[in-house]
Structure 1
Amino acid sequence: MSIISMVVTVRRHAMSNDLHDAVEEVVIRAKQERTVLTLADAARQIAIARGDTDRRGDGDLMLALMKESARRGVAMRFN
């Protein structure tokens, strides 16, 4: 999944700050596009879209990404 499409996807949920919806949509989009998510990139883009100042994401965000990708059978790289 390209970084640009990930940001566009997440921006819809950024206003409501609903982490679960943002994570779910990123993972669903990656599955549809048959791409491998990179945990750090996905977390960073969601954090930026949500307005987090550190721009890295936090443990809850990364855990949510890992759980959702495992639940939906989406491959994820950790580097």
Structure 2
Amino acid sequence: MQKPISMVISELREKVFDSINKSGLNPTIIRFVMKDIYIDIDSQAKVFEQQEEEQYTKKSAPESKESIAPDDKINS
């Protein structure tokens, strides 16, 4: 059984804060480091989201073509 996402998030936050506290860096430096990390993660998330969208589009395209026959027209 996988851990609930709330537990995984909590553990990640704890590890990040623990690492920050152990670093001994002042908050100004930590802000720069965290900003760089955020930019990297945001970029990776955008690529991941785009890949998911492309996969969904590829999988759903044949279904939508099959559900509407070319001769099926809406008459007014």
Normalised to the residue count of structure 1, the TM-score between the two structures is 0.29
**Structure with bigger RCO (C-alpha 8 Å, 6+ apart):** 1
Flag the structure with higher helix content: 2
Flag the structure with higher strand content: 1
Normalised to the residue count of structure 2, the TM-score between the two structures is 0.30
